[in-house]
Structure 1
Amino acid sequence: MQHSQDIVVGYDGSPEASQAVQWAARQAALRECRLHLVHCHLRPLPPEGTQAASIPAGIGQGPSPEIILNEGLALATDTAPGLDVQGSLIYGWPAVHLAKISEGQQMLVLGSRGIGGLIGLLVGSVSLEMAATAPCPVAVIRTMESQPGGAIVVAVDASGSMSALTDACQMAVLTGAPLRVIHVQPQPRGWPARRAPVDGESAEILAAAVARARELTGGTSVEGVLLRNQSTARAILDASRGASLIVMGTKGRGLIKGTIGSTTHTVLHRATEPVLVSRRQ
């Protein structure tokens, strides 16, 4: 089925952004939609004839914005030959422009520039801001190789997380990957995880989500997993190792502008797998 909405991907020439472009191109090919590749350059190039001594440090160094944009476009078409790809070169802060461009689109895809260790727990500032504020679902792609044969993992909370569940089901159908629906029951302090009693309400939440997922996916393999842990984020991360994608909702108390829950925030920081934040305007 032809979709009118684009997949938007940000590209800055980094290895992380390259992986985001490849992931986004494969998604656009599966969805039969256009890929809109955007390169945001922070400062315009100096006017022709400007004396070298008057050019601030950093200006004009490295590849030109046009070269970076064309490099990204070539990478996208190499990844998915025949894909309809549009390129845009924009000057200014990426988060501002990406928010406008991605409004009403299928998805925004960005690379993550975490560098490991305690400092590297932080997702790149643009990716984190977009995950918290963008008007469409946001996929954050890690530098590590994803697992093409891994499951699509979606975490559902007491609300049922319908937006996240719907996005996860669509991804499972498109890719043919099995779907793992997980719900984390808070573990009482002092109880070993395997011995904590199963809460009836938690079991009902999971059962309802699994039933809905099976309706949405048809013949796709759907597994329901009830976890018990004092840390919801830790349980999700442990259950998602080797997944091809983790799908998270945004409902919660929120740490960034009140729009992203603390669990999703932690998963974004610590997951080594690609993460899709199921945002809706």
Structure 2
Amino acid sequence: MRQDPGAIVVGYDGSDEAAAAVRWAARHARATGSALNVVHCSLWPLLTRHLGPVPGVSNSGLEQSARSVLEEGVAHAATEAEGLQIKSTLLHGLPAKLLVEISAGEKLLVVGSRGLGGFLGLLVGSVSLELAAAAACPVAVIRQDLYPDGPVVAAVDAEGSPTVLEDACGLASALKAPLTVVHVRHLPPGYSRRGPHEAGTEARKVLEAALNQARARAPGLRVDGRVLTNTSIPRAILEASKEARMVVVGSQGSGVLKETIGSTAHAVLHHAQGPVLVSRRGS
């Protein structure tokens, strides 16, 4: 059985988005005292057998090209966090499948919101959605860091979302950021079976329980919270996290996409302005 706390794994494919993800992962690894594993997934072996160098041309060939991309990713990390323990891993095959496998037992998987090169277009809605639905650890999808001094926003459901709170508290503590816990009181159009007072009381109880858990888990953390009322849970979360440093959501939920990833997480991943952490654990 694995005893170490696991590393932070970051996918790198040579794109600007992936470079931003590597830099974020390096900073977070340094802040949490974690090792960093920079991973590049080469698709070339799936497409051709001719991976070796061109005769008479030094440092040529598809395999060497893949290694150069990986070395570039490591250089981004080393420049961002001097002295950080960095491992590099070159894999061959489909990125989503390989990153899911390598995430088992690790602390965090970090990817860019989109990319080219080895990931064949890492877009929210494809590879990153698959990782958010299937990875064996939390998944951070990094976009531009518009609000580096903003809070971490954690969205909790009616069950209190304990893994969301755990990940959000750890993230906010590492970043030395305030934590805002939000719970959405969902009111579909025309829904009136329960009166507003009853529904509002239940929502406040959910929020208070989550706040108590967050404060107990991270006593030195500045924690506040809000009950949001909206006909759309994702819309409420997105509005509340417009100036967030990171928004943390659960991986499960209701909706037509519940067999892959919760519809709330799906919508937040697509439309959030900044980084998103999908809180999940391996089965």
Say yes or no: TM over 0.5: yes
Alignment correspondent of 1:132: 133
Alignment correspondent of 1:164: 164
User: What letter is aligned with 1:158?
Assistant: A
Correspondence 1:235 to 2:236: yes
Corresponding residue SS for 2:280: coil
Alignment correspondent of 2:119: none
Corresponding residue SS for 1:90: strand
Alignment correspondent of 2:155: 155
User: What letter is aligned with 1:249?
Assistant: G
Alignment correspondent of 1:264: 265
Distance 1:228 1:71, change over 3 A: same
- Residues 114-154 of structure 1: CA distance to partner in whole angstroms, max 9, x if unpaired? 8xxxxxxx615211110111111000011x22422100000
Alignment correspondent of 1:187: 187
- Residues 7-34 of structure 1: CA distance to partner in whole angstroms, max 9, x if unpaired? 0000000000001001100111011111
- Residues 178-209 of structure 1: CA distance to partner in whole angstroms, max 9, x if unpaired? 00000000135369xxxx65611111000100
- Residues 206-247 of structure 1: CA distance to partner in whole angstroms, max 9, x if unpaired? 010011111111121111101100001000000001110000
Alignment correspondent of 2:248: 247
Whether the 8 Å contact between 1:184 and 1:227 is mirrored in structure 2 is yes
Alignment correspondent of 1:111: 112
Whether the 8 Å contact between 2:154 and 2:164 is mirrored in structure 1 is yes
User: What letter is aligned with 2:138?
Assistant: P
Separation in structure 1 between the aligned mates of residue 7 and residue 229 of structure 2, nearest angstrom = 39
- Residues 50-106 of structure 1: CA distance to partner in whole angstroms, max 9, x if unpaired? 79xxxxxxx968x81111111100000000000000111111111111111110100
Q: Quick check: 153-162 or 251-260, which moved more?
A: 251-260
Alignment correspondent of 2:50: 46
Corresponding residue SS for 1:64: helix
Aligned length, in residue pairs:
263
User: What letter is aligned with 1:162?
Assistant: P
Alignment correspondent of 2:35: 34
Distance 1:256 1:129, change over 3 A: farther
Distance 1:89 1:257, change over 3 A: farther
User: What letter is aligned with 1:177?
Assistant: A
User: What letter is aligned with 1:270?
Assistant: H
Whether the 8 Å contact between 1:253 and 1:262 is mirrored in structure 2 is yes
Separation in structure 1 between the aligned mates of residue 5 and residue 212 of structure 2, nearest angstrom = 30
Alignment correspondent of 1:119: none
Query: Which structure 1 segments of 5+ residues have no match?
Result: 52-58, 115-121
What's the offset of the Cα at 1:6?
Answer: 0.5
Alignment correspondent of 2:24: 23
User: What letter is aligned with 1:147?
Assistant: Y
Separation in structure 1 between the aligned mates of residue 65 and residue 254 of structure 2, nearest angstrom = 42
Separation in structure 1 between the aligned mates of residue 259 and residue 101 of structure 2, nearest angstrom = 20
TM-score (norm 2): 0.86
Distance 1:47 1:262, change over 3 A: closer
User: What letter is aligned with 2:189?
Assistant: R
% identical equivalent positions:
50
Distance 1:166 1:182, change over 3 A: same
Query: Which structure 2 segments of 5+ residues have no match?
Result: 116-122
CA RMSD of aligned residues (A): 2.6
Separation in structure 2 between the aligned mates of residue 239 and residue 88 of structure 1, nearest angstrom = 38
Separation in structure 1 between the aligned mates of residue 85 and residue 5 of structure 2, nearest angstrom = 12
What's the offset of the Cα at 1:3?
Answer: 5.8
Whether the 8 Å contact between 2:51 and 2:61 is mirrored in structure 1 is no
Correspondence 1:210 to 2:211: yes
Alignment correspondent of 1:67: 68
Corresponding residue SS for 2:10: strand
Whether the 8 Å contact between 1:9 and 1:37 is mirrored in structure 2 is yes
Distance 1:149 1:48, change over 3 A: closer
Whether the 8 Å contact between 1:240 and 1:246 is mirrored in structure 2 is yes
TM-score (norm 1): 0.86
Separation in structure 1 between the aligned mates of residue 98 and residue 242 of structure 2, nearest angstrom = 33
Separation in structure 1 between the aligned mates of residue 169 and residue 157 of structure 2, nearest angstrom = 16
